Structure 1
Amino acid sequence: MNIIRNVISELTPIFSANEARAVAIALCEHVTGFSRAQLLSDGTLVLTDEQQQQVSRCIDRLRTQEPLQYVLGETEFYGLSFKVDHRVLIPRPETEELVEWIKNDYKDISCSVIDFCTGSGCIAIALAKNLPEAEIQACDLSEDALEVARANAKYNDANVRFFCADVLSESFADTLEPIDVIVSNPPYVLENEKAAMQSNVLDFEPSMALFVPDANPLLFYEAIGKIALARLKPEGALYVEINRDKGKETVELFRQMGFGFVELRTDLFGNARMVKAIKN
């Protein structure tokens, strides 16, 4: 327990007691390669000088409020390991529920899926690993993000075709073949919500993947909805993650656009988080 205790003592000024313990365990697992059980049960384990230096460098970065996932260079999503850095958003647990919804709807069904604004590739890759009958594509405006996504697909042995595209471009839909499923977790945080956000998000995660203008909060949903109506096959489905304060507005937008069926779902915390829209 000495390793964990020593690291906790260094982290306590940065985190609450529970957070410091969790971060210390994750940090020591990463640096040493020992399992959580080994670290907690074997009091004779000690860090080498090189490992201690690596831990110290990580703690220095954590003191700047840099997210642990960036410091470690990896995170877990839907039971898979993903490489992450400042070029992509850190995958959130709520997004796993969007993947679960699609997986349940299309399990054992041969279908074509495209993920817009893919970022780290977490949605597309998780679907590729859980929908073996599906053909998966994914796109992003950022070539930097696509570099991370491709590396993650290779790391997870997932068959996903990535390409660069701007979903806000009026000509984008013309480049797509008819498709069964469109999924997206696009930017949806309003500029005026910045004041309530923590610095570990504002200062480190890519703003291009987060924010939309206050005057047009559903900018991406309108654009993606138009693409979906133009390129989804009959009875094809659009799935999106949304701003929890814009659930009713997003549902109403899709209904007014002409989707035949629109469903809003809450996440495990009770927040409006996901919308599914079916093309007639």
Structure 2
Amino acid sequence: MKKVTIIGVGNLGKSILSGLAASDIIDASDITAVDKSKYNLKEVEEKLNISISQDIITSIKGVKWIILCVQPRQLDLVLEEIKDKLTSDQILISTVTGTSIAEINEVVPDNKVVRVMPNTGASKKLSMTCIAANEDVKEELKFVEEMFDTIGRTLIIEERLMQAATVLGASGIAFFLRFLRAMIQGGIQMGFHPHEAQIIAVQTAIGAATLVAKNGTHPEREIDKVTTPQGCTIEGLNEMEHQGLSSSVIKGVMASYEKINTIK
């Protein structure tokens, strides 16, 4: 009942495989990776000691969970290939951006489907994975959470929010990194060597995020702790806001959201 086949061994597929193989919720011998690339398969086989295959049909036989980690343009081809070989008790987990549960069920109407949206933090087991499913998957959802908890943190959301989750959680990696780059550039301008500025800015970013995560506080509470009256921190914050920092970030997030709703 816990056998898993992952179709697609790109960066995300490798991260999910790594998390599952290192966990105690499933045996590595019950995991199969499927990909057309022999190089990708050899890499995960050597590192994780799992089963590999280039044959999708053979790899989904007798498997409860099938995780689809393919590109959007490849999804229809994969579904067409497997649809007549699936049994009704098999559950599909899709990481494919922009394809709804209903659209997948148009091709495989007899199978339960779960949508998940991890991010690239998965490679360091620091993913934020959002999960959505219909009511008919309620009983099985707990194990889906357990699987993706192996690569970070999970959150169950309504499917209507999956596009927003992609922007905030997946595109959000790039947004935070762009701010981090700006911090590094500021450090260089103040006199640090680039590698020194990066060390300071990266560790500061980790510390800031951890304060909010561990303390469960709103960011403004933590900001108040480092802003003294007439100090340099409030001077810098106010200048950033005068230049439109918060407004620019919100506009960027919403522009990304508007764009994702046009992508298919």
Structure with more of its chain in strand, by fraction? 1
TM-score clears 0.5: no
Structure with more of its chain in helix, by fraction? 2
Shorter-normalised TM range: 0.3 to 0.5
